[in-house]
Structure formats: C-alpha cells, structure tokens
Amino acid sequence: MLEIQRIRKAPEAIIEGLKKRGIDATETVNTLIELDAKRRSIRHDLEEKQHQSNELAKEIGILYKSGRGDEANALKAQTAGLKEAIKELNEQVQAVADSEHELLLTLPNVPHESVKAGKDEKDNEEVSREGEIPSLDEHAQPHWELAEKYNLINFELGVKITGAGFPVYVNQGARLQRAMINFFLDENRAAGYTEYQPPHFVNAASGYGTGQLPDKEGQMYEMPVDGLYAIPTAEVPITNIFRDEIVNANDFPIKSTAYTPCFRREAGSYGKDVRGLNRLHQFDKVEIVTIDHPNNSYDRLDEMVAHVAGLLRKLELPFRVLRLCGGDAGFTSALTYDFEVYSAAQERWLEVSSVSNFETFQANRLKLRFKDEEGKSQLCHTLNGSAMALPRVLAALLENHQQADGIRIPEALVSYTGFNKIS
C-alpha cells in the first residue's frame, strides 16, 4: 500500500511512475487527495470538539469535588450538544477514511526509475546471461518423461491420494528434493540469513500484512472453520514475523531464510505450461527475506541477485537475469529481477527465482518501522526472493544434466544427495 503522505506530497510523480505499468492513475490520485484533505479537515473539527468536551468534563469533576453541584449540573447541559456533534463527526471521518483506504489499496507500487515501461513479459530487459546451454542429442527428454523413466516422481499417485498438482516424489527423486532444500538453506545461512521454520498456516491478519488478502484470496487454500490459510510462500509467515514491529536500526540488514512447502490453488491456469513440474498446487521453496534501511535497499537487492546467481552457478545451470518491465512486475514490487534457467529439452526459459524490492509498500501495511537518527519512526524497506523454488530447478537439473546412461548430479549437491548420478 502506498503511503498517503507520499501521494499528497508528489502526486505527479506517482501518476508518472504508474504509467510504466500502463495505468492511468490520474483520477484515483486526485480523488485520494480530495478524500485525504476532507478527512483531515473533519478530523480537525472533531478533535476541537473532543478537546472542549474533555475540558468540560474536567471542570465538572472539580466542581463536584468542591461541592458545587449546581454549577456542575449547569455545565452538564452544555455537553449534550458536543456529544452529538462528536458522534456525527466520528462517523463522517470513518466513512471518508474507509473509502480513502479502499482506493489506496487499488494502487500498485510505483516502479523504480530503472524500470522500463512495458506491457508484459515481452518487454522485460535481459540484464545478464551466464552458463552454457547444453546441446542435447535428439533423444533428449523433457523432465516429466525423465521423472517417469527413472521413477523419481509419480504424478498419478499424487492424483490418487490428493489430486492433480500434488506429485509424489520417490526414491532418488525424494532424496534429491531433501538434498536441494538442505543445500539452499546451508548456502543462505552461510550468506548471513537467519534460518526459520515457520508455521505453514497463517491467520487473516498475516494475509493482509503481506497483501495476499483481500485481492488474492482465491489463490490460497483456506480453512474457514479455523480462519486459517495455507501459505502460498514462506514470504508470508517470515515477513509477518516483523508485523507491527519497530526494529532496531543497528540490526540492519535483517536477513531471514526459511524452507516451506507452498500451496497455491492456481485457479484459472490450464494448458501446456502446467505440464510436469511447471505448475503445481504444492511445491517446495526456500525463501530469503531482507529488511533494511531505505538508503541501502537497492545495494541489498544487488546482493540478493548475486547470491541467487551463485546458487545457479553451483548447480551448473545456464541462466539469465531479467529486469521486469512495469507491466509484468508484481503489484507490490518496485523492482523485480527474474531468474530464468534454460530448459534444453523443453527449449524454453523457466522462471526459477524472482527477487524484488518492495521499498515501503509492504512495510506500510505491516507497520514495520525503525527509529531514524532523529528518533522518528520510519518505514523499513522489505525485499524478498526465492533461493530457490525446487520444482523448476529440478526440471532444469534433470533436463540439462541428462546423459545417455543417467542424470549427472552437480558437484555441489553430491554431498547432500549421497549419489552423483541418477540411473
């Protein structure tokens, strides 16, 4: 959620920035400014009346104490009108604040200056590319065939137990999953991230805190009896650790990592892209979350990007980094870098990680702040990224490292898997 103060201060900059997303926010911004002015003016009146009322109550108290009940009763008569006015103003201010808030929620984050205007993924900019795309022979198979051939993943079994999109990993497939989780967590920990094991269900307040609610409600699995939601990413429980907190500026940067399964309904996505591991209802992911001072958040973003690149390098996967254009970036993001690994057998790029700086957009809803040098509360910047999402890494691993007699496990993973080849 954008800060109303920021809109009030520089409405033109907001409107200009949002144009990169292909949004004309002129009307919304103008309405917001009107509502904001109205709210503050009513509030001013309200506070004045409340002040009068407080003063009167105080006087009445003093009069009673000194035994001058008659005078007190005379004053009491004056309070009736004030009370009425306060009640009414209160309702007015609430109504204006509600519509202001509602409107504010419709505005996405303003893109960073480096973000190009654009409509969709075709307008994303490639900022770097690394690793060699293997030239596979004609017998090269996509991962869903490899998974079956080597009995790594059983999709049908998942359908029997639960439903489509809930695969069962078996044997070396299961061990590889466990190995990757440990590998990623160890790497993240070595890079200074504190490891967490958070709940896999969250309450509604946490859903609102990170912005899954109210807009993406249909994307989460929900347990209405208990009012809980299955997490779509570890970002939700991890970031909400810091909800309503005033963190110590000396602790910056606050770096956290967690492995969790992720649950997504993926309502409305069908077709080719859902084949195999490309789109699942339950998958494993190791997430990194960073909280930092506004002055340092972009340095931190670069660090996180470098860290994720290091992971892919160790997995010996060819990848490219994209800076998402305005139209393709997420609602809450100011700047997002996507990592895509080339899937040789599918002959296309697969998104394996996404690293974003949300600036204050998330912190504003979370009320996540720190005390600046002057002792004033200021919103933190939050960033997060996947490091990494397992299914597509697994897919790329299987496809890119396939050989005639099996699948080669990259060096860095061998001590985790306990085997260097899938056969």
Positions in the binding site for RNA (CB under 7 A): 4-5, 40, 43-44, 46-48, 50-51, 53-54, 56-58, 60-61, 64-65, 76, 79, 83, 369, 375, 377
Nearest distance, CB of residue 262 and RNA, angstroms: 23
Choice between 78 and 141, CB closer to RNA: 78
Nearest distance, CB of residue 50 and RNA, angstroms: 4
Choice between 250 and 295, CB closer to RNA: 250
Choice between 81 and 261, CB closer to RNA: 81
Nearest distance, CB of residue 60 and RNA, angstroms: 4
Nearest distance, CB of residue 56 and RNA, angstroms: 5
Choice between 16 and 48, CB closer to RNA: 48
List, in sequence order, every residue forming a beta bridge with 172; answer none if it has no partner: none
Nearest distance, CB of residue 55 and RNA, angstroms: 7
Choice between 175 and 243, CB closer to RNA: 243
Nearest distance, CB of residue 51 and RNA, angstroms: 4
Choice between 40 and 160, CB closer to RNA: 40
Beta pairing class for 194-196 and 254-263: parallel
Nearest distance, CB of residue 100 and RNA, angstroms: 11
Choice between 56 and 159, CB closer to RNA: 56
